[in-house]
Amino acid sequence: MTDGSVSFYCGIGEMQSQATIDIVEDDRAARESLGQLCQAAGYRVRLASTAEEYLQFLHVPAPTCVLIDLRLPGMGGLELLDDLRGSHTWLPGIVLGAVVDVPTAVDALQRGALAVLEKPVPQDELLSAIDFALEVSSDLAGYRQLADNLKRLTDRERVVLEMLAKGDLYKAIAQHLDIGIRTVERIRERILKKTSYSSIPPLIHDVGMAKGLTYWKKRASRNS
């Protein structure tokens, strides 16, 4: 592979893991070393030498995380974080830098990085950060699907879900909406069917998590 090209290769454990690690690093030796480490850990790996190249082939299977060199030529690592955060394909990023001062680390975290690590990064520390990022990526995929499903709810169904989330009983909901308790029960069943959940408590939990993610992303945007 020559510098400036994009490379894809799969780890020896690909059959056991569908996770993908994207690596954006302009130093060829560092890029391939990180790729080999992730490959040996069983991940599918995609390599790019610049942020611009990466954005050209970016397609986000789930789960995915991206390792980003802080000081890339052209679009820098922090700018790439901004671009990823602003897109509908936001994904967890880990920033790597030879020298990372506190203000830069704080800036990266506010722009959406899950971790900021100083090179050379101990293998165990890097793999631990990757594992955490992939967990977040899996959660994000589920929350995106939930958000899509919630859009299918009618206004009345949203009101019922919000009141259930506050702990209101069927009788109180029925009185508030001037409908019968059996009607509330039928609305509840429609909510569960549209969101693909079997009961209300886990749905309420995940709705809260999805809303928390949205708030966090908006807050990060305001801080950048």
129 and 160 inside one domain:
no
C-beta separation of 9 from 45 below 8 A: yes
Q: Are residues 92 and 59 in the same domain?
A: yes
147 located within any domain: no
Report the mean per-residue pLDDT for the chain: 82
Instruction: Give the CATH number of the domain where residue 55 resides.
Output: 3.40.50.2300
Cα 110 from Cα 97, distance rounded (Å): 16
Q: What does the alpha-carbon distance between residue 31 and residue 46 come to, in Å, rounded to a whole number?
A: 10
Q: Which residue has the higher pLDDT, 15 or 123?
A: 123
In a domain, 81, yes or no: yes
**Is the same domain home to 24 and 109?**
yes
- Between 27 and 57, residue with greater pLDDT: 27
Q: What total of structural domains would you count in the chain?
A: 2
Q: What is the C-alpha separation between 143 and 125, in angstroms, rounded? A: 27
> Which pLDDT band, with edges at 50, 70 and 90, does 32 fall under?
very high
Domain span including residue 161 = 152-223
CATH number (domain holding residue 202): 1.10.10.10
Residue at a domain's end among 137, 160, 192: 137
Amino acid at 93: G
Fill in the amino acid letter for 63. Answer: P
pLDDT digits (tens, 9 = 90+) for 102-127: 988 988 888 888 899 999 899 999 99
Q: Are residues 125 and 173 in the same domain?
A: no
Mean pLDDT of 43-49: 92
Residue 135's CB is within 10 A of a number of other CB atoms, namely 14
The answer to whether residues 80 and 103 belong to one domain is: yes
Q: Is residue 162 part of a domain?
A: yes
The pLDDT, as a whole number, for residue 111 is 83
Question: What tokens does 12 get?
Answer: 């020896």
What pLDDT is attached to residue 136? 81
95 and 170 in one domain? Answer: no
**Domain identity same for 170 and 217:** yes
Pairing state between β 64-69 and 93-97: parallel
Question: What does the pLDDT look like over 82-96, one tens digit per residue?
Answer: 888 766 556 789 999
167 and 88 within one domain? no
Which of left, alpha, beta for 74 (phi over 0: left; psi -120 to 50: alpha)?
left
Q: Are residues 78 and 189 in the same domain?
A: no
Distance CA 136, CA 64 (A): 9
More confident residue, 143 or 103: 103
Cβ density class 208-219: b for 16+ within 10 Å, e for less: eebeebeeeeee
> In this model, does residue 141 exceed pLDDT 80?
no
